[in-house]
Structure 1
């Protein structure tokens, strides 16, 4: 896939660390599968992975975590 940000790179499958912040809660998800641009480093998550990441982040916020570090497991 051609990168929609830099328009020069192509993507390859790998893993990224996703950091999300809402209110006073920081959620870090490690080893998240993504397609990463080889030129600029922008990453793209699939729809299903995005839904899981957002659900895990929502769960952390709801339980009152200030900092949550999660190793992503599909």
Structure 2
């Protein structure tokens, strides 16, 4: 599959670190399955992965402090 951003690179299965900010907290989720462009590094997540990340974030809103780092494979 060709990259949607650079249009020349090839998307390969990989893992990435997902970073987001909630109200008063930074969340880092490591080893998230994705498609990554070999040329420009653009990252795409499957809909099922994004749904799981949303579920993880909903749970973390109740318990997270300032910074929370977790491994996707242990939460999936």
Q: Normalising by the residue count of structure 1, what TM-score does the alignment of the two structures yield?
A: 0.89
In 1, the alpha carbon distance for the partners of 2:2 and 2:21 equals 28
CA-atom RMSD in angstroms: 1.2
Equivalence for 1:71: 71
Q: Normalising by the residue count of structure 2, what TM-score does the alignment of the two structures yield?
A: 0.87
State which drifts further: 61-70 or 13-22: 61-70
Q: What is the correspondence of 1:13-24 to structure 2 with a 5 Å cutoff? A: 13-24=13-24
Q: What is the correspondence of 1:45-56 to structure 2 with a 5 Å cutoff? A: 45-56=45-56
What is the count of residue pairs matched by the alignment?
74
| Secondary structure of residue in 1 paired with 2:5 | coil
Q: Is 2:16 aligned against 1:9?
A: no
Equivalence for 2:57: 57
Note the residue ranges of structure 2 that are not aligned, 5 or more in a row.
none
Which runs of at least 4 in structure 1 moved beyond 3 Å after TM superposition?
A: none
Q: Is 2:74 aligned against 1:40?
A: no
In 1, the alpha carbon distance for the partners of 2:31 and 2:64 equals 23
Note the residue ranges of structure 1 that are not aligned, 5 or more in a row.
none
Contact 1:26 1:68 in 2 (8 A): yes
